[in-house]
Structure 1
């Protein structure tokens, strides 16, 4: 079409055109609101997910530390149980007169009547 024919075409201000324009405008406003709501929801979900990840990471770190500490304490418990067993054996031995006599002979060179003690030097292997 040429420009003369375009000037001859007029737009009618009909009730239908006004309603159609209002519907388009309302749809545009509705879409903007929808985008805002979805953006807010997305931001909220992202915030919750970040908080969850941070919490899980910190709990994992604390749990790892506690597991390491538990293993260390279990090893220490085993060692202390061995020491306890040795001490119980020593208590039982110290309640025995024969063991006390053996220690007195070995450490203090005490003898029974008529007994002679010979102390031999210890030989070290180089």
Structure 2
């Protein structure tokens, strides 16, 4: 308010010239008005430019954030797809095993194999696993020492 009052006082203290030149030159007022309009136009353009630049920068930042989010989600989707594929293959294997376990002959064969059960009249022989020749040499070398 103080600044405005001082400007008003300056305008009140200024007396327009009233001489022949000022009265004869009507273009002076128009030139002054044009200059004032030009200043206002420049101010409007400056404000509009600042707003436009801020909007463009904001949109660019928003776009880059969206593209980063999209890339992260695509990576996550690829991981989830891999997990899904693994789960589907495991489910398929389990379904196959379920169908085998529904067969009585398969269960009997599995029981004989895993638990050394036998049918009547069968004799079960266990054969030790074959040992590599290199393992035999190292065992015999250890015994010699």
Same fold per superposition (TM over 0.5): yes
Tell me the TM-score normalised to structure 2 length: 0.73
Structure 2 residue runs without a partner (length 5+): 1-19, 135-145
* Cα separation, partners in 2 of 1:60 and 1:124, compared to 1, 3 Å: farther
Distance in 1 between residues matched to 2:66 and 2:131, nearest whole Å: 56
C-alpha deviation, 1:77, in angstroms: 0.7
5+ unaligned residues in a row in structure 1: which ranges?
A: 1-11
List, as ranges, runs of 4+ consecutive aligned residues in structure 1 with deviation greater than 4 Å: none
Per-residue CA shift, 1:55-105, capped at 9, x if unaligned? 111111111111111111111111111000000011011111111111111
Q: CA deviation at 1:14?
A: 5.3
Residue of structure 2 in register with 1:71 after alignment: 78
Match of 1:16 in 2: 24
Q: CA RMSD in A?
A: 1.8
Give the 5 Å matches for 1:42-53. Answer: 42-53=49-60
CA offsets 1:2-37 (integer angstroms, 9 cap, x no match): xxxxxxxxxx525332x2211221111111001000
Q: 1:115 to 1:72 in 2, by over 3 A?
A: same
109, 114, 119: which one aligns with 2:116 = 109
Q: What does residue range 80-99 of structure 1 map to in structure 2 within 5 Å?
A: 80-99=87-106
* Number of equivalent positions: 115
| RCO comparison, higher one (Cα < 8 Å, 6+) | 1
Cα 1:30–1:124 shift into 2, 3 Å:
farther
Query: How far apart, in 2, do the equivalents of 1:123 and 1:32 lie?
Result: 100
